Structure 1
Amino acid sequence: MKGLKKRFGIATLEDISGLILNSHDLDQTLNNIVRLVARRIGTEVCSIYLLEKPEGLLRLKATKGLSKRAVGKVILKVGEGLTGLVVEKRHVVTSREPEKDPRNRYFPETREELFHSFLGIPLFDRREPIGALVVQTRAPREFNEDEIGTLSTIAFQVSSIIVNARLLDSIRRQEIDREATAGDIAVGDVAAELPEALERPRALNGISAHPGVASGPALVVTDQFSSVDFYAERPVLVETELERMKTAVEQVRVKTLFLEKRVAERLGARDAAIFNTHLMILEDRGFLEKWQQEITDGAGVVGSLRKVVGEYVAAFERMNDPYLRDRAGDVRDIGRRLLSVLLGTGEPTIIPKGPVILICREVHPSDLAAIDPRRVRGIAAEEGGENSHAVIMAKSMGIPMVIGLTGLMHAVAGNDFLILDADSGCLHINPGGKLISQYRRLEESSSKEVSRLEEWRHLPALSSDRKKVTLRANIGPMSDVDIALRNGAEGVGLFRTEFHYMVSPGFPSRDEQYRFYRHVVERFGGCPVTIRTFDLGGDKVLPYFPQPLEKNPFMGWRSLRISLDHQDIFLTQLEAILMAAVHGPVNILFPLVSGLEEIRLCRELMEEARRRLRREGLRCAGEIPCGAMIEIPAAVRMVSHLAREVDFFCLGTNDLIQYMLAADRGNPLVRRFYDPLHPAVLQVVKDVREETGRAGKCLCLCGEMASDPLCFLALFGLGIREFSMPSPFIPRIKAFLSRISSGQGERIGERILAMGTSSEIRHFLQENIPPS
């Protein structure tokens, strides 16, 4: 295994990730994994043992190197032998000359007496052990720390692949069982009959996917996939239908590559990576073979497509993981694009004649890639998930969007006049004159303000008495960089790196992350960029990283807790940040900190990342400023202690308010309790500002309340002088700040701290907004 780290690389992870696409079932996936891992890392043996429930027994499921006759026959209890110990202890187990190790259990049928070293690494699904990955070599040897770390990374990726392969196997078995019991019942959409007398509603409420207000005529896009009578087709020769299938797949594949390139040019490579999922579906053996089998069994190419897509969509929609559930939309998108080619209508393209509000059952990434965003003022969809690829793209394009509008396709007709209020998640249908006037005044006022604010974009942020305030940008996707620079941001106060992970097909490599971070650092030309380490968990989940189902994920295993539990992934990101910091001023920010132990461990890992880079002879930054995100109540009370270990602080009010007031922002039943102007919230802001000031540390406030002029007035009054916010709000806040003096701010701060209710504070602030 000499030189393992050099041979390993990200290519191995990518190859492992791709194995599931080229495997027919779980057994084939496991066999492909052990062959690939043994070849890449240079060991004579690689084996996978899986835990079978409810018996709780470990079974040898695949091996490269041991006797094939032992597969399926070698069974261990948890804790039995070295492999059983790996699963029992949930930890790496190594042994030089395992034949002499009293913990070992020998199975003659494996012929493992030929091998004289053992390294076993546990495999996990949502923190629960599912088996072990074992490598063995002929020569007796010890495994060093680098080798164990590298193989742990492989095991982590293998765990995810096994979980997904098991899931696909389960889906296939369910489909086989359903087919066995379904008889000759035709599969079709069952449309609920709606009474004709039912009046169309005047307004619908849904979920805001991207804020903004827009009005205009409705352009209703019907779903061709569910509206065509597929079973009316008369199949011709099987060979002809199979050829039509092959041609459609190739045409859609080529068009997908084109869409990927187009989105990369418009929004950046990260958003374009969304179409990797589409290519994976088009190349999935299971999907293609099932479609082909339906045709061979006598179904027409179109009817069989609808059946197979419907089954895949239903399987995804049954999944508990919200991110995986939202992948059903990608399967539907591929299905309708294939259908359009088969029907000869060409790929679906939305070409509005003028500015419209797009109305659809579900918007798809291919729709957004094809439209001219200047002609689509807003999007309203009956279905769709907050984690869907279409929503991610709509955010990058800046289009107001509301999803989850139940009954939308019945309620709206073509050319209905609509007002889409994506700030509140409401769609108004043919509103009355009074409501139209109110929104038009709002739009006109907003339009005039945009023109007026142009002059403020690149002016310094100064109070009326010329006191400096720093306004930086929150960024996530690549497209945010240009928007931030256009709006005059003085650097990046919060770089949400998890977006990079969310649109990647697998964990991005160190080099991928380095290139991404370096691009951002260089674009800001000497202005500081604060990079927050990935904040996954809660509502931000990855399709390739199984996470536990938790009753309250926002207070569970997320953010820095995941990073510290998976140090191999964390170290990869830290190395990329240290490499990027060579190209400009970079700060590193650790999220969801609760105490000193976490910060100290983060600093140790920073040093380890630096050592690893230097061993490889790579350039990296020396000391860079490290900061703590104050976003949970415990951290508020630890500021004076944390100040001895960190260089700066970032006050994340979004989560802090949620935890302080026990009010989930996403829960409509308690949303009214989430109040940034609650007296307790303002008191905590003041306390943190004073504690950080006494310690001589910088404090940046980066919550959404920073972009609300009323809240900004309160925060400025409480002494906050550095903010990070969504960059489109920066010119507005600069203009607003120019009308306030620091003395006025101090007086406002003193007054609101003496008030006991949010309504009292809000009323006082409204009365003290400086005139334009």
Structure 2
Amino acid sequence: MPPQSIRNTDDARDERLGLSTLEDISKLILQSQGLEETLRNIVRLVAGRMQTEVCSIYLLDDERLVLRATIGLALDAVGRISLGLDEGLIGYTAETRNVVNVDEPQSHPRFHYIADSNEEIYHSFLGIPLHDRQRMIGVMAIQTIEPRQFNAIEISTLTTIAFQLSAVVASARLMDRLERESQLRVDASTHAAGHQPSATITDSILKGELGFGGVAIGPAFLIDEELGVADIGDDEPVELESKLDRLADAFEKSKIETLCLEKRLAQRLGEEDAAIFHSHLMILQDRVLIDKLRGHIHDGRSVTWSIKHVIGEYVNAFQRMDDPYLQERAADMEDIGRRLLANLGGQVRDVIALPYDAIVVAKSLLPSDIAMLDHAKILGLVLEASDSNGHAVIIAKSLGIPALVGVAGASRHVEPGANLILDSASRALHIDPAQSIQDEYRRLKIDGVRQQEALQQYKDRDAVTVDGTRVSLRANIGLLSDVAIAQQHGALGVGLYRTELPYMSRASFPDRQTQYEIYRRVVEGFPGQPVTVRTLDIGGDKMLPYFDSPKELNPFLGWRSVRVSLDHREMFQTQIEAVLMAATHGNVRLMFPMVTTIDEIAACKEIVANARQSLSDQGWDIPHVPVGVMIEVPGAVALADHFAKEVDFFALGTNDLIQYLLAADRANPAVSRYYDSLHPAVLSSIAQMVAAAKRCGRELCICGEMASDPACFAILVGLGLREFSVSSPSIFGLKALLSRLDIDQLTMMSQQALTQASGNHVRQLVDAMIGDETESLR
């Protein structure tokens, strides 16, 4: 159980710091005029709440860390003191991009004395790096006169503040950069000219990419206007003061709305995702932006024209930058522009209430759209943007909404209210299809609903064959919203919790407390049932936007998964500690991905032991947590007997195992035909793992996507697998299939499959023996 002393410390920290990070920094931004005043207010607040004599902020400028704000050091040092990345503890913090926590800093080998700074009287130093994604921005430094070692909770809190501060600094600097680079100013005609590629159209069909599976039928609702709102006419007051008053009122309303959106998104997705609105507040406070708007109004332009013109210039400037990250910031400016225009026109932007159940069509959906959309009326989602991992698609998946992304030209070719059919299986959007096509899709939709209703009877049933052989069907999950979906489908716990998804949806590494809260909620969602937590699995096709990673010719064969974790042991131990803390709330199992050597297992277990000891020292009583490995490479299959001596269980990760066995990148369309789940080599490797697990007395669960396919599932049961982790919506169908088959039949089929020469031959075998049963579930 969590120690009482830790809970008391948390309460004391909340009372002492009282930052409520989002709200307090938002207030500071609104109370400050520009970046310099914001920085001064932040160092004053942090020093007071942390009860330290010094808080300083250094920002990176032309490879030098320049003191930009301080409480405690000599005020005339601001702007004068600058350090290289190889100078002092400040430079050391920036160079390593890690927290530096030392007492008696004068004795540290990297200490660098600066005359007239008054630093010599301080006897502790805490440096927190400031970075925006992969960009180093600067350092926040805390110093005290009395010797002091800052504890983990204080460091975690300051790291959170540093993250919020980074967003503020990055936004302010980007605005300054746009002003300096006047060549990025483009005329209105260039802004109006679209660069959207032509859509692929065949008989009123647009093609796209899969966002989330399913079929949706209904009218279109477009979010496609310039800056997101209908064009507001120029029927404005002629008097100059009246127009300026309207502009000021729109800015004030937009600031209030931004604060409300920030709170709403924080409740839904977490504080770090909502922190994007700090940068929005900084832009709404930007004097250069406001002066530009006022200048156009003084020149006789309308308020509406001025906002569209100036915001359009900024959007174009960002889009023309070479840096993809800076290009993405255009979305922030666009979001702010549409908020200003909506408030200028008196439009209340609380929830985007769809007037009818509809398929939403948009170029992209911004953070405020996601916070305000009326999810209950969305039948489907069509986006021109090709971001299959964006917030909009993540929410569509969690709600079970069919989605297509990368549908070029959708907002130009789809009229409001047009009849649409979204078929994710064929990656197609049908626009005003013929009545015969509509009738056919409606029939298919009705059949699908009926089939799902019929399968509901299996929710509370065991997964069991005709002759009584039982298997366990658990869920693959990655988001908190997946918990409810797994519960609805009767999953017996979680066989694979992909912890990288919470990492991928944030702008920086989540701290231990944040991870613990997420994991705890997942574990509590499955009382009495196992939850297998896989440690961070990045690399290959899953990268973090804020994490430095090498450029590799073949990332799938390079630095990924447990290799990354073992090279960043502090990060790794932080995650493991969070998992162990969550284990005090339920039945947790810990699993390491893509292990290839016995040395890796030993290193992982050593970190687990260190994490357990660290928590014990803090008063935590951690229960026994089984440790396992994911078998994803052929070498691990060959070493299974040796691995079994070091771990409590195995999991088969067939997604990677198949591509490594068959040398076929599963994400490469050019070789996708070679990626075959039923290839005899794949089945032989699985059979080998089943035999090793049985021989060594270790549990074996299969977690790959092939387990959700009815034909593959039948073969796997016949091979002897009894634990499966699958996508939740497939559970009912797999139970139904199993209830019609007997184990002798499945065993015989699987043994024959092992003798086949190709995957096609295996499929023919399955079709011949149980084809009618599997076909009904596809």
Q: TM-score, normalised by structure 2?
A: 0.81
Matched, 1:469 2:479: no
Matched, 1:168 2:191: no
Measured after TM superposition, the shift of residue 349 of structure 1 is 3.6
* 1-structure distance, mates of 2:504, 2:470: 36
Match of 1:717 in 2: 718
Measured after TM superposition, the shift of residue 292 of structure 1 is 2.5
**Equivalent position to 1:423, from 403, 410, 425:** 425
Letter in 1 for 2:627: C
Measured after TM superposition, the shift of residue 675 of structure 1 is 2.9
Match of 1:292 in 2: 290
Match of 1:108 in 2: 115
1:383 aligned counterpart, secondary structure: coil
Match of 1:625 in 2: 626
Measured after TM superposition, the shift of residue 368 of structure 1 is 5.8
Match of 2:703 in 1: 702
Cα distance 1:16–1:730, how it changes in 2: closer, same or farther (>3 A)?
A: closer
Tell which deviates more after alignment, 499-508 or 687-696.
499-508
- Residue deviations 1:570-590, cap 9 Å, x none? 444434433332332222223
2:468 aligned counterpart, secondary structure: coil
* 2-structure distance, mates of 1:436, 1:183: 45
Is the 1:700–1:723 Cα contact (8 Å) retained in structure 2? yes
Cα distance 1:506–1:192, how it changes in 2: closer, same or farther (>3 A)?
A: closer
Match of 1:276 in 2: 274
Measured after TM superposition, the shift of residue 380 of structure 1 is 1.6
Letter in 2 for 1:704: E
1:362 aligned counterpart, secondary structure: coil
1:469 aligned counterpart, secondary structure: strand
Measured after TM superposition, the shift of residue 131 of structure 1 is 6.9
Is the 1:489–1:727 Cα contact (8 Å) retained in structure 2? yes
- Residue deviations 1:453-487, cap 9 Å, x none? 01111100001221010001122333322221121
Measured after TM superposition, the shift of residue 27 of structure 1 is 6.2
Match of 1:523 in 2: 525
2:467 aligned counterpart, secondary structure: coil
* 2-structure distance, mates of 1:744, 1:537: 41
Match of 2:650 in 1: 649
Counterparts in 2 of 1:275-354, with a 5 A limit? 276=274, 279-280=277-278, 282-285=280-283, 289-299=287-297, 300-307=302-309, 309-310=311-312, 313-314=315-316, 329=331, 332-347=334-349, 349-353=352-356
* 1-structure distance, mates of 2:751, 2:462: 27
Cα distance 1:256–1:169, how it changes in 2: closer, same or farther (>3 A)?
A: closer
Tell which deviates more after alignment, 733-742 or 157-166.
157-166
Letter in 1 for 2:305: G
* 2-structure distance, mates of 1:370, 1:120: 38
Counterparts in 2 of 1:435-450, with a 5 A limit? 439-440=441-442, 442-450=444-452
Is the 1:233–1:303 Cα contact (8 Å) retained in structure 2? no
Measured after TM superposition, the shift of residue 528 of structure 1 is 1.5
Cα distance 1:15–1:344, how it changes in 2: closer, same or farther (>3 A)?
A: closer
Is the 1:125–1:163 Cα contact (8 Å) retained in structure 2? yes
* 2-structure distance, mates of 1:250, 1:90: 37
Cα distance 1:432–1:660, how it changes in 2: closer, same or farther (>3 A)?
A: farther
**Equivalent position to 2:217, from 215, 219, 224:** 215
* 2-structure distance, mates of 1:77, 1:223: 48
2:737 aligned counterpart, secondary structure: helix
Counterparts in 2 of 1:500-511, with a 5 A limit? 500-503=502-505, 508=510, 510-511=512-513
1:521 aligned counterpart, secondary structure: helix
Counterparts in 2 of 1:330-479, with a 5 A limit? 332-347=334-349, 349-353=352-356, 355-364=357-366, 375-383=377-385, 385-414=387-416, 416-431=418-433, 439-440=441-442, 442-479=444-481
% identical aligned pairs: 41
Is the 1:231–1:303 Cα contact (8 Å) retained in structure 2? no
2:580 aligned counterpart, secondary structure: helix
Match of 1:678 in 2: 679
Match of 2:581 in 1: 579
* 2-structure distance, mates of 1:438, 1:680: 40
- Residue deviations 1:255-274, cap 9 Å, x none? 6777788889xxxx444769
Cα distance 1:474–1:747, how it changes in 2: closer, same or farther (>3 A)?
A: same
* 1-structure distance, mates of 2:477, 2:616: 30
- Residue deviations 1:124-147, cap 9 Å, x none? 7888988766665546x6x76x75
Is the 1:24–1:285 Cα contact (8 Å) retained in structure 2? no
* 2-structure distance, mates of 1:261, 1:105: 42
Give 5+ residue unaligned stretches, structure 2.
1-5, 774-778
Match of 2:748 in 1: 747
Tell which deviates more after alignment, 526-535 or 371-380.
371-380
* 1-structure distance, mates of 2:640, 2:406: 41
- Residue deviations 1:170-196, cap 9 Å, x none? 52244213447749867742257999x
Is the 2:171–2:283 Cα contact (8 Å) retained in structure 1? no
Measured after TM superposition, the shift of residue 88 of structure 1 is 7.3
Give 5+ residue unaligned stretches, structure 1.
none
Cα distance 1:232–1:547, how it changes in 2: closer, same or farther (>3 A)?
A: farther
Measured after TM superposition, the shift of residue 747 of structure 1 is 1.9
1:303 aligned counterpart, secondary structure: helix
Tell which deviates more after alignment, 280-289 or 726-735.
280-289
Match of 1:603 in 2: 605
Letter in 2 for 1:108: A
1:768 aligned counterpart, secondary structure: helix
Cα distance 1:747–1:85, how it changes in 2: closer, same or farther (>3 A)?
A: same
Letter in 1 for 2:282: D
Letter in 2 for 1:722: E
Measured after TM superposition, the shift of residue 736 of structure 1 is 0.8
1:769 aligned counterpart, secondary structure: helix
Is the 2:130–2:166 Cα contact (8 Å) retained in structure 1? no
Letter in 2 for 1:495: Y
Tell which deviates more after alignment, 38-47 or 525-534.
38-47
* 2-structure distance, mates of 1:425, 1:249: 41
Is the 1:124–1:156 Cα contact (8 Å) retained in structure 2? no
**Equivalent position to 2:591, from 589, 592, 597:** 589
* 2-structure distance, mates of 1:103, 1:455: 68
Cα distance 1:365–1:119, how it changes in 2: closer, same or farther (>3 A)?
A: closer
Match of 2:3 in 1: none
- Residue deviations 1:171-230, cap 9 Å, x none? 2244213447749867742257999xx987532221211111223444444425378667
Cα distance 1:254–1:553, how it changes in 2: closer, same or farther (>3 A)?
A: farther
Letter in 1 for 2:728: S
Tell which deviates more after alignment, 314-323 or 692-701.
314-323
* 2-structure distance, mates of 1:182, 1:130: 26
Is the 1:46–1:64 Cα contact (8 Å) retained in structure 2? yes
* 1-structure distance, mates of 2:591, 2:390: 27
Cα distance 1:220–1:604, how it changes in 2: closer, same or farther (>3 A)?
A: same
Is the 1:126–1:548 Cα contact (8 Å) retained in structure 2? no
- Residue deviations 1:421-448, cap 9 Å, x none? 2134222334567766764554343223
- Residue deviations 1:571-620, cap 9 Å, x none? 444344333323322222233434344433433333343344444434x4
1:171 aligned counterpart, secondary structure: helix
Number of aligned residue pairs: give it.
755
* 1-structure distance, mates of 2:108, 2:261: 58
